[in-house]
Amino acid sequence: MGIKCFVKSCNNTPIQKKNGLIKDLMFHRFPTNAIRRERWIANIQVFANQIGTVLGRAAICSEHFDKTSYIFNPDGSRSLSKTAEPTKFAVPLQRHGADASEFKDDSFTDVEK
């Protein structure tokens, strides 16, 4: 299995963007700020034994963030705002996520602290 969004109900991968299947797909690592990170963890319902994965290389895809979570730059690019939280989920969440070994460092953007 390849790398994918940490939200268990989501199967989005960086390959989908590369292949043009999902044009604006981005991946965001969990914030380094403890308070913000805890909010993300609560929103996606991560079990306590998965916190190490979150602190490692896990990331959430852009489909779980509202458009208002982004700052649109003059050059057409976008970045996640400092206050953004994942809130969009297609199906009810279950407490689990992808395996940390599935994530590669070069596939994600870091969230501002």
Of 106, 104, 101, 97, nearest to 10 (Cα)? 97
Tokens 């690019």: give the residue.
Answer: 77
Prediction pTM value: 0.71
Q: Give the pLDDT confidence score for residue 45 in this predicted structure.
A: 82
Q: Which residue has the higher pLDDT, 73 or 107?
A: 73
- pLDDT confidence bin for 111, thresholds 50/70/90: low
pLDDT in tens, 60-72: 999 999 999 999 9
Q: Give the pLDDT confidence score for residue 13 in this predicted structure.
A: 87
Average pLDDT value over all residues in the chain: 78
